[in-house]
Amino acid sequence: MTYFEIIKTLLKEDRSIRRFDTSRPIMPETLESLVELTRYCASGRNLQPLRYRIVCDPDERRSLFPLLAWAGYLPDWDGPEESERPAAYLVQCLDTTLAANCLCDDGLQLQAITLAARALGIGSCILKAFDPKKVADALAIDPGYQPRYVLALGYPVEHVEIEDMKDGDIKYYRTPDAVHHVPKRPLSDLLI
């Protein structure tokens, strides 16, 4: 495969995963190696103001989970049941002593991490629906570090398919076979 084909394949396979095999741990060293990749990302003003808190410990995972909101378009689903919860999390934080914002560094780094995780067979879901203060308190994160995103990680037990969007309907949905479907706009909609 060419680099282009590898990147396209990884992007297509890098779906948001919300159901994991909780019994399969992810080692802290693996999480560190994912964070290490962010060193090579572009950074506005080259400030590099993002930090990561690794969450593997079962007690910390139990504290963090109820603070997160899952799959807003699936109103009848409260998030993964106990045996399908994330095996680990990365809490991406802004070092507010360096900057009040991080331009788009956060998204660039999350994409780098999720693609690399996918290459290792690890699924992930970027989460923004949480109260940063509650997350910081639950994990005793220093007040100078502001949680920006939580990345949930684990080995996937759910199947996700992308499909062409119909009639502008952006909502993902699940079919009775538990397959999660994600509509994507066609290229013709993206070009202006």
Name the residues that contact ligand FMN, by CB under 6 A.
Answer: 15-16, 18, 69-71, 125-129, 160, 172, 182
What's the closest the beta carbon of residue 60 comes to ligand FMN, in angstroms? 19
> Quick one: 16 or 30, whose CB is closer to ligand FMN?
16
> Quick one: 95 or 158, whose CB is closer to ligand FMN?
158
- What is the full DSSP assignment across 23-82? TS---HHHHHHHHHHGGGS--GGG---EEEEEE--HHHHHHHGGG----TT-TT--S--G
Task: Determine whether 104 is exposed, middle or buried from the number of CB atoms within 10 Å of its CB (0-12, 13-18, 19+).
Answer: exposed
> Quick one: 31 or 160, whose CB is closer to ligand FMN?
160
What's the closest the beta carbon of residue 182 comes to ligand FMN, in angstroms? 4
For 182-187, the CB contacts below 8 A with 24+ separation are: 182/15, 182/16
> Quick one: 16 or 38, whose CB is closer to ligand FMN?
16
What's the closest the beta carbon of residue 146 comes to ligand FMN, in angstroms? 16
